[in-house]
Structure 1
Amino acid sequence: MLRDLKLPLSPAQIRSIIEAQDVPIALWSGAVSSGKTIASLIAFLLRLAVAPDHGLIVIVGRTLQTIERNLIDPLQSKFLFGPLAKHVHHTTGSTTATILGRTVHLIGASDARAEGRIRGATIALAYVDEATLVPYEFWMMLLSRLRVGDQSRLLATTNPDGPFHWLRKEFILRKDAVGLTHWHFTLDDNPGLDPRMVARLKAQYTGLWYRRFILGDWCLASGAVYDSFDDVRHVVDILPEMRRWMCVGVDYGTVNPFVGLLVGHGVDDRLYVASEYRHDSRAAHRQLTDAQYSKAVQGWLREYGHKGAQGVQPDWLFVDPSASSFMTQLWSDGVPGVAKADNDVKDGIRSVSMALAADRLSIHRSCEGLLGELPSYSWDEKAALAGEDKPLKANDHSCDALRYALHSSVNEWRHLIRADLEVAA
């Protein structure tokens, strides 16, 4: 099977593939794009070829979509897997695939309720993508379902998380006791990486994310969330012409401040937070209704002036997903482009960090609320000690609006960073 592969393999990858065949639990962790997924998928195919006929074969990920993107698509790539790719069959959206002639069940495990999907099952072979994102309850249920004697196997990959994450505390640090074999990968363990790709990856991450995803450290979330923010680098007094007004991010508040941030894509291929609408009911001694907020936001955008032109209409208006009544008001008022913001906090922070680190995000000096919050926006160290990464919930309303705007539109601007790095290389 290895002879059919089209890609080069490093000694670390080959060693892990061979060793993984005879251990109950195999875990690959380390840097992004370090070759751990390819090595683990080859190991999975080898185990699948000899898996017992009785017992289910399962692939687990955070969602069905991440399984398709992270695992099925690579397995179907002739560039990566050569002739083996034709033996991987899957219809997008289906919860099963056929791989090497075996039916493989694809299971999304985004919350603790997912453990019900495998309760009562007998599993012969399991593969888990991004194990730190799988709920603890699901992982433990999965282990209890590996019931085909000493032939059952569990293979998993992950990027590092905090040092108190259950996967590290209960399994990696106790690997001998629980029957786990662990390999740590760095960028140097992937012989297929172009130097430009390495440069791109290093530029996309900063602070906490750099330590975890580039260095592969299981490190604590502490200090400033946006530690690359620099008012000299990222604050501007003059805005360029805009290619498009991309979006508005809205953090809804009644007692707490209500914030809207207008983001444009400049002709210099940078993102600009051009203007901020902010209403603090405590400071104003007046709460506004949904209808009044809708009217205020529309008026703010209608009156905003830029380069002699007055009024902007952004492509999207991404709203705090918990503010359903406000979105209903906007829809009834005929406001175009209204959508629920993506409220994944960690991924959203990573998107903002990526834009700041790559110098692709600037903020106009008039956005006083946002500029006042960014330097003090910090990780909650008590939560980190309990194994959870989250920022302190204090003076964060403009930061939330920024996260809604940038993360919800990330697929529309991520290429700016990639193209910039390729030109530089």
Structure 2
Amino acid sequence: MTTELLDVDGDPIPESSVLGPQQIRSLKESNARINIFEGAIRSGKTIVSLLRFLMAVLFARGGVIVVVARTRDSAFRNVFEPLMDTALFGPLAKLTHYTAGAPTARVMGRTVHVLGANDKKSEKVLRGLTVALAYVDEITVIPEDFFTQLLGRMSPPNAKMFGTTNPDSPAHWLKAKFLDRIGVDLKNWRTWHFTLDDNPGLSEEYKNQIKSEFTGLWYKRFILGEWVAAEGAIYDMWDPEVHTIPWDDLPPMRELLCCAIDYGTTNPTVAGILGISTEIDRWGKPHPRLFMVDEWTYDSKVSQQKLTDAELSRQMRAWLDGGGHIPHDTFPPMRPRYTILDPSAASFRVQLGQDGIMSTQADNEVLYGIRTVASLLGSGKLLIARPTVKNPDRGCPRFIQEAPGYAWDPEQTLKGKDQPIKAADHSLDQGRYGIVTTENLWRQHIKLAT
């Protein structure tokens, strides 16, 4: 199979001007049944894996072609947007057609089924399929049951999978059950490790910028591409001087994306409002960021009074009606587009509905949410409003208080699991709910390195 690339006139492009040595090596060698491209963010692994996938589409026989991602929205961002980008794939980009959220795409004239795999029940969508070719985006955020079911569905003789991932815990099922066995008893699997230096398109200035945005665990995983265990502070890059902004100094907002709620009965109930700004950089280009602009808390232990759902709803709605729409000097009054609720709060969801507030169930994929928040904080694209002398009751003081103490559970780490200690995390949870559940909205304006 040739790996020659052609320009728009059909003339060969020298490989060295397009791909780095590790990309070229993986492109030529990825003929195994399972081919996994893993390593640092922005290391070039996704682009070369997509190129290899395009080549394989032409030869897939005996079953369907599938693209798997955590959600169809993430499949659009991470797979189909790059494939349809002429700057990346030239004339080949015109051979990929996909509408965000759709169940199928057209690639090289072939029908491709697009599957979201964001919970354990999602493996049921694979039942009955015979898969000739699969592309899996970010394998470590896919449920193990789904991945195992997919392997079982790849029954045609020449079936192939191409997948990407950033590193995770060394005890993650992908590494412990599969990657560590490659070359031992998994003979028809191949893997390639990528670092930032494997991407020839990155300048030293840009690489240094990315390196400066992460610390600790996130630096080891995202920058060095190491499979290391979680320990210590979860948001170890947290710096109140960097990650907070006085409420009075909030920039103009494009919109308030949501009011997200972490519901508690004996624990506090915390609601927070997430906004996206209309900021412009020094070159006059849009430079939006996310802002946690305000929060409301009811703590029955502090108040020494437990409220019913109806009473809790009434107090929260009073906050929204009286101040939650954020009257501010730099942007007009506005209400959050969505109300997003803790998925376990079934009774409160019913009460809100009776009170005229339709709520969306929060995406509660904890580790994915933590990764996303960490990437936003590390890249300076998430700021938290803090109270001021002029406005002491505005901003998100609880979020600011909880962030530095949010830590990995050492007992779970010993078991090979990344799991936070469940204490003093109520505002952090609502913030995570809002950020991940509205990701398809803000990702249109804010890009994160993956």
The TM-score, its normalising length taken from structure 1, stands at 0.82
Change (3 A) 1:104 1:406: closer
For structure 2, the 5+ residue unaligned runs are: 9-16, 280-287
Does residue 393 (structure 1) correspond to residue 422 (structure 2)? The answer is: yes
> Match for 1:191 among 200, 204, 209?
200
Q: State the shift of 1:378 in Å.
A: 0.9
Change (3 A) 1:374 1:166: same
Deviation track 1:33-76 (CA, whole Å, cap 9, x = no partner) reads 2111121122223333334x433333322233333332233223
**Aligned match of 2:373:** 352
Q: Is the 8 A contact 2:384 2:400 kept in 1?
A: no
**Aligned match of 1:169:** 176
For structure 1, the 5+ residue unaligned runs are: none
Change (3 A) 1:390 1:378: same
Which deviates the most, 189-198 or 9-18?
189-198
**Aligned match of 2:14:** none
How far apart, CA to CA, are the structure 2 residues paired with 1:413 and 1:89?
Answer: 23
SS of the aligned residue for 2:68 comes to: strand
Change (3 A) 1:81 1:332: same
How far apart, CA to CA, are the structure 2 residues paired with 1:77 and 1:255?
Answer: 51
How far apart, CA to CA, are the structure 2 residues paired with 1:265 and 1:47?
Answer: 40
Q: Is the 8 A contact 2:244 2:383 kept in 1?
A: no
Q: Is the 8 A contact 1:204 1:358 kept in 2?
A: yes
Deviation track 1:380-401 (CA, whole Å, cap 9, x = no partner) reads 2333344432211122112212
Deviation track 1:132-176 (CA, whole Å, cap 9, x = no partner) reads 222222322333333333x33222211111110111112211101
Q: Is the 8 A contact 2:73 2:440 kept in 1?
A: no
Which deviates the most, 229-238 or 183-192?
229-238
Q: Is the 8 A contact 1:164 1:385 kept in 2?
A: no
Q: State the shift of 1:119 in Å.
A: 4.0
SS of the aligned residue for 1:50 comes to: coil
C-alpha RMSD over aligned residues:
3.7
Change (3 A) 1:415 1:128: closer
Number of residue pairs matched by the alignment: 415
Q: Where does 1:28-67 land on structure 2 (aligned, <5 Å)?
A: 28-51=37-60, 53-67=61-75
Q: Is the 8 A contact 1:166 1:387 kept in 2?
A: no
Change (3 A) 1:392 1:42: same
Q: Is the 8 A contact 1:301 1:313 kept in 2?
A: no
**Aligned match of 2:283:** none
Change (3 A) 1:417 1:129: closer
Q: State the shift of 1:29 in Å.
A: 0.2
How far apart, CA to CA, are the structure 1 residues paired with 2:112 and 2:438?
Answer: 33
**Aligned match of 1:16:** 26
Does residue 283 (structure 1) correspond to residue 285 (structure 2)? The answer is: no
> Match for 2:166 among 159, 172, 185?
159
Which deviates the most, 209-218 or 338-347?
338-347
Change (3 A) 1:92 1:270: closer
Change (3 A) 1:339 1:98: closer
How far apart, CA to CA, are the structure 1 residues paired with 2:110 and 2:234?
Answer: 45
Percent identity of equivalent pairs: 41
Q: Is the 8 A contact 1:146 1:152 kept in 2?
A: yes
Give the aligned residue type for 1:280. D
How far apart, CA to CA, are the structure 2 residues paired with 1:327 and 1:134?
Answer: 28
Does residue 3 (structure 1) correspond to residue 5 (structure 2)? The answer is: yes
Q: Where does 1:273-422 land on structure 2 (aligned, <5 Å)?
A: 273=292, 275-301=294-320, 314-316=335-337, 317-334=339-356, 339-359=360-380, 360-365=382-387, 368-408=397-437
Change (3 A) 1:82 1:329: same
Q: Is the 8 A contact 1:260 1:277 kept in 2?
A: yes
The TM-score, its normalising length taken from structure 2, stands at 0.78
Q: Is the 8 A contact 2:341 2:360 kept in 1?
A: yes
Does residue 125 (structure 1) correspond to residue 136 (structure 2)? The answer is: no
Which deviates the most, 260-269 or 152-161?
260-269
Q: Is the 8 A contact 1:122 1:148 kept in 2?
A: yes
Q: Is the 8 A contact 2:273 2:336 kept in 1?
A: no
Q: Is the 8 A contact 2:62 2:132 kept in 1?
A: yes
Which deviates the most, 133-142 or 163-172?
133-142
Q: State the shift of 1:205 in Å.
A: 4.2
Q: Is the 8 A contact 1:273 1:364 kept in 2?
A: no
Which deviates the most, 199-208 or 185-194?
199-208
Which deviates the most, 159-168 or 111-120?
111-120
